[in-house]
Amino acid sequence: MGKLTEKELHALVSLLDDSDREVKDHVKDKIISLGNAVIPFLEKKWESSFNPELQKEIEELVHELQFSLLKERLEQWKLSEEQDLLKGLWILNTYQYPDLDFESMNADMHQIYFEVWTAFKTDISPYDQVRLINNVLFNQLKFSANTKNFHSPGNSMISNVLDTRKGNPISLCAVYYLVAQKLGLPVFGVNLPNLFVLTYKSEATTFYINAFNKGLIFSKQDINNYLEHLKIEPKEEFFEPCAHIDILRRTLRNLTVSFEKLGEPEKVEEIRQLLEILGSIN
């Protein structure tokens, strides 16, 4: 934990509610320079403190340390070759749940895959394969659209979606996509305006899947009709598979809307910083 003894750390943290702003800022910088190893100590101090001012300062410090770790992880993810989707979604998830362990989330996801895999058949048509996945995910495991709390930040947090079995279009598509990919199916995400869907795209067959509507299967013409209804010009990207980084950007944009609706401008600003890391100007 840097070069400081436990005693020195105690002394440093107790200066956090010093009335001199300059002293306070200096102390904060010093604590932040110690990095994430100092978080458990700060949390202990928070628990043993009866001073609400000091507790607030500690909360802000811990958040700042956790947020800088998240940004670091996101930078690394962006530079990684495979840009693993579950790992990327987990990194975003740590914004709300900093202590969330990747391995336990991965195990939950594997359990869902296992349930689908045991019911899966390879010798049937792509349409029937998708209907099989739909049956397990939406009828047996009861995944569904969170229409009541559509704008809740929890809908963009994959661990939350795995726990509650409720999500928004993009998080439900992400769960579906991760399962389909593991089964070796040519299923990909598609970035539609106001809606995120999936496509089954092989040389022989192309169709679309709406995970927000229990895996409803639809066609390219349906997308054309949808765009016409929204008075939006068709673009190639509305029909073609998108990359994992697009799924993360879309998830962050949803979070921006969630926090705007909750009236939390600091969080909106932090999410904007994360979008910047992923090279998103919108």
pLDDT per position as a tens digit, 48-101? 777 888 788 888 888 888 999 999 999 999 999 999 999 999 999 999 999 899
Higher-pLDDT residue of 141 and 29 is: 141
Across 181-199, average pLDDT: 95
- Asked whether residue 129 falls in the same domain as residue 199, the answer is yes
State the chain's mean pLDDT as an integer.
90
Across 178-200, average pLDDT: 95
Q: How confident is the model at residue 282 (pLDDT cuts 50, 70, 90)?
A: very low
Residue 42 belongs to some domain of the structure: yes
- Asked whether residue 71 falls in the same domain as residue 90, the answer is no
- Asked whether residue 118 falls in the same domain as residue 43, the answer is no
Residue 1 belongs to some domain of the structure: no
Indicate whether 3 pLDDT > 80: no
Residue 225 belongs to some domain of the structure: yes
Q: What is the pLDDT of residue 1?
A: 45
Split into its structural domains, the chain has a count of 2
Distance from C-alpha of 175 to C-alpha of 172, rounded to nearest angstrom: 5
Residue 97 belongs to some domain of the structure: yes
Q: Is 150 left (phi over 0), alpha (psi -120 to 50) or beta?
A: alpha
Indicate whether 275 pLDDT > 90: yes
Indicate whether 281 pLDDT > 60: no
- Asked whether residue 100 falls in the same domain as residue 184, the answer is yes
Q: What is the pLDDT of residue 280?
A: 61
- Asked whether residue 69 falls in the same domain as residue 89, the answer is no
Residue 63 belongs to some domain of the structure: yes
Across 163-168, average pLDDT: 95
Contact between residue 137 and residue 161 where contact means Cβ atoms under 8 Å apart = no
Indicate whether 2 pLDDT > 70: no
- Asked whether residue 155 falls in the same domain as residue 75, the answer is no
Higher-pLDDT residue of 271 and 42 is: 271
Residue 264 belongs to some domain of the structure: yes
Enclosing domain of residue 66: 6-79
Across 265-274, average pLDDT: 96
Indicate whether 243 pLDDT > 90: yes
- Asked whether residue 154 falls in the same domain as residue 247, the answer is yes
Q: What is the pLDDT of residue 45?
A: 80
